[in-house]
Structure 1
Amino acid sequence: MEKSRGLYRSREHRLVAGVAGGLAERFGVPVWLMRVLWLLLLLPGGLPGLVPYIILWILIPEEPES
């Protein structure tokens, strides 16, 4: 079964909240690459990566159970 093209927090590729995994699935990039991008945003003091991550964690719904 093909996954929906909607944006959801991933249940399968989750380390914290599934935000990076969900974005990777939605845009068709490897999960590790999305995690590296978030890590790079966290390096200059945390806020450029942490604040958007928390906002997306709140706004993006969790992937429905299949």
Structure 2
Amino acid sequence: MEKTLNVQGMSCGHCKMSVEGALNNLDGVSTAEVNLEAGKVDVTFDESKVNVDTMKEAVEEQGYDVNT
């Protein structure tokens, strides 16, 4: 399953690494790719292992706001 998250507050390479790292650490997430210019994160995941709310929490724990 693929989902695009709208993430506010990402502005640099460190932001990109923080968000991608937080998502990739979740069981069930196979890829997370940040587009800084668009403020979006494309996530490919196994919906039997992880859901959007869990991914949203992981990103928010890094200090960013998620609008789904």
Same-fold status (TM-score > 0.5): no
TM-score (norm 1): 0.30
Q: Choose 1 or 2 for highest CA Rg.
A: 1
TM-score (norm 2): 0.29
